[in-house]
Amino acid sequence: MRKSFSMPRLLACLLILIALAGPSRAATEDADRAVVGRFLLTDMNGRAVTDEMYGGKIRIVVFGYTYCPDICPTVLNTLSVALEHLGADRAKVVTLFVTVDPERDSPAHLKEYLASFPEIIGLTGSAEQIAAAARNFKVRYEKQPVEGNDPMAYSVDHSSSIYIMDRVGNFLARMPHASKPDRLAERVKSYLAPRKAED
Amino acid sequence: MDRRRFLLAMAALGLAAPAAQAKTAQGLFIHESPKPVPALDIRDADGQAAGLDALKGRAVLLNLWASWCMPCVAELPALDRLKPAAAAKGVAVVALSLDRGGKIAVVNTFARLSVKALDIRTDEARSAAEKLNATALPVSLLLDNQGREVARYVGAADWEGPKAAQLLDALGAGKPLTPDMAPPLAKLTAAP
């Protein structure tokens, strides 16, 4: 009983702490909006694509960029291993990598880079299209000032979650980019059962 | 009940927390105590098992790379040159490719870079990144002569400078590693 008394206070302290942290404040404001899976982008062959073109499939979506001068995240590796775990169910899923760096990630460049991950579809677009897609997914990104003298050697800070969207593009789940591939596959599988897809 | 509410609230907070990518820290990270390394299914150019067991009794620099990782590829020539020098210090250099589809990407990359000393090593089960908790590449794990991870270097290191020599001397001799032995990050030029 004594324990239950302290719990709200602990929660209140946590909430205050989180409210005080700068970036979290923006996240709290963002939390009012739902994640929406709508987009109009360009695929690796230069064709315009919308989320509706992937209708009927569960979508795994990540935002990022291919230019990694220092260290490269292994999230695409995670995605491709997760897809292997899905086995035959892979056909019910589409995996999308949306660049937040359309300036460097042209369709041709994405195609070359993603040759190592043939089951992942790279999407780019105009700066406005990328901004609109990111806004819908509540993804934030920001081009960073250049440190050296090469104006093209900029980095882009960005949200790095893995999104799982349902067959019509509605939000199902958001997982950390460092998720284990089997956990990601399990989560996707849980949504492939028709009954659970509406949860 | 309260515990459940607390957990639910924590979960909700987790969802609301920003997903902004934390800048991955680079450089040398020395562990407080050696960590066991999970078994990895490493294969050689013929698809035969070439796990770390074969190197038992020797210290190892286990570098994880992939052909799609530009800084990894840019670091490989230095590791190739380092291999014989490190061997003289009792440290085996192993460059493990995380590329899917076996050795093709490795063969092509090694040919392009004119790699001479490094052996082809592939992550057959494609589980090395997960098992070794490598969320970014390149990363080099420093294993003691009992096969335990004593430190890891995140990013491409200057493997041919005096600091690296000091670090590998200590690793090969089974002496404790200290932060002053940390090699600087390599100044990488564009991958060929």
- Evaluate whether residue B2 is within a structural domain: no
Inter-CA distances, B66 with A34, B81, B191, Å: 36, 19, 13
Q: Using pLDDT thresholds of 50, 70 and 90, give the confidence band for residue A151.
A: confident
Strands A156-158 and A48-50 come out as unpaired
Across residues B160-184, what is the average pLDDT?
97
Across residues A96-123, what is the average pLDDT?
95
Residue B152, Cβ density class (10 Å: 0-12 exposed, 13-18 middle, ≥19 buried): buried
B108 reaches A (C-beta below 8 A):
no
Q: Do A140 and B18 lie within an 8 Å CB cutoff?
A: yes
Distance CA A143, CA B147 (A): 42
Nearest to B13 among A14, A80, A84 (CB): A14
Question: Residue B96: which of B40, B151, B53, B56 has the closest Cα?
Answer: B40
Q: Do B98 and A74 lie within an 8 Å CB cutoff?
A: yes
Q: Do B1 and A4 lie within an 8 Å CB cutoff?
A: yes
Position A161 pLDDT exceeds 60:
yes
B24 reaches A (C-beta below 8 A):
yes
Position A196 pLDDT exceeds 60:
no
Taking only the tens place, the pLDDT of each residue in B59-108 is 999 999 999 999 999 999 999 999 999 999 999 999 999 998 789 999 99
Across residues A14-30, what is the average pLDDT?
47
Position A156 pLDDT exceeds 90:
no
Position A136 pLDDT exceeds 50:
yes
Strands B139-143 and A93-99 come out as unpaired
In Å, how far from its chain's centre is CA B91?
14
Q: Using pLDDT thresholds of 50, 70 and 90, give the confidence band for residue B39.
A: very high
Count up the domains in chain B and report the number.
1
Measured between beta carbons, the chain A residues lying within 8 angstroms of B134 are 74
Distance CA B44, CA B124 (A): 10
Distance CA B16, CA B20 (A): 12
Q: Using pLDDT thresholds of 50, 70 and 90, give the confidence band for residue A93.
A: very high
B68 reaches A (C-beta below 8 A):
yes
Position B187 pLDDT exceeds 90:
no
Domain borders along chain A are: 1-32, 35-198
pLDDT the model gives residue A21: 46
Q: Do A78 and B130 lie within an 8 Å CB cutoff?
A: yes
Position A106 pLDDT exceeds 50:
yes
Q: Do A24 and B17 lie within an 8 Å CB cutoff?
A: yes
The answer to which of A177-186, B7-16, B64-73 has the lowest mean pLDDT is B7-16
Fold of domain A35-198: Glutaredoxin (3.40.30)
Across residues A137-145, what is the average pLDDT?
91
Distance CA B117, CA B115 (A): 6
**Amino acid, single-letter form, for residue B8:** L
pLDDT the model gives residue A195: 55
Q: Do A73 and B129 lie within an 8 Å CB cutoff?
A: no
- Evaluate whether residue B103 is within a structural domain: yes
pLDDT the model gives residue A17: 47
A158 is in an annotated binding site: yes
Taking only the tens place, the pLDDT of each residue in B43-58 is 999 999 999 999 989 9
B77: DSSP letter: H
pLDDT the model gives residue B21: 43
Position A3 pLDDT exceeds 50:
no
The answer to which of A43-52, A89-98, A185-194, B135-144 has the lowest mean pLDDT is A185-194
Nearest to B135 among A84, A113, A178 (CB): A178
For the beta carbon of residue A29, count every other beta carbon within 10 angstroms: 9
- Evaluate whether residue B164 is within a structural domain: yes
CA distance B30 to chain A (A): 19
pLDDT the model gives residue B136: 93
The answer to which of A180-194, B19-33, B107-121 has the lowest mean pLDDT is B19-33
CA distance A162 to chain B (A): 10
Q: Using pLDDT thresholds of 50, 70 and 90, give the confidence band for residue A158.
A: confident
Q: Do A74 and B135 lie within an 8 Å CB cutoff?
A: yes
A68 is in an annotated binding site: yes
pLDDT the model gives residue A7: 57
- Evaluate whether residue B15 is within a structural domain: no
What is the percent of chain A with per-residue pLDDT over 70, rounded to a whole number? 81
Q: Using pLDDT thresholds of 50, 70 and 90, give the confidence band for residue A5.
A: very low
Taking only the tens place, the pLDDT of each residue in A23-67 is 444 444 456 678 999 999 999 999 999 999 999 999 999 999 998
Nearest to B68 among A26, A78, A116 (CB): A116
CA distance B125 to chain A (A): 9
A179 reaches B (C-beta below 8 A):
no
Distance CA A181, CA A82 (A): 4
- Inter-chain CB pairs, A–B, below 8 Å: 115
Residue A153, Cβ density class (10 Å: 0-12 exposed, 13-18 middle, ≥19 buried): exposed
B135 reaches A (C-beta below 8 A):
yes
CA distance B57 to chain A (A): 30
Residue range(s) defining the domain that contains residue B154: 25-181
Residue A6's closest chain B neighbor by CA?
B2
pLDDT the model gives residue B147: 96
Residue B147, domain CATH: 3.40.30.10
Nearest to B19 among A4, A68, A161 (CB): A161
Q: Using pLDDT thresholds of 50, 70 and 90, give the confidence band for residue A147.
A: confident
Q: Do B18 and A178 lie within an 8 Å CB cutoff?
A: no
A85 is in an annotated binding site: no
A47 within 8 A of A134, measured Cβ to Cβ: no
Nearest to A174 among B15, B23, B24 (CB): B15
Taking only the tens place, the pLDDT of each residue in B133-168 is 999 999 999 999 999 999 999 999 999 999 999 999
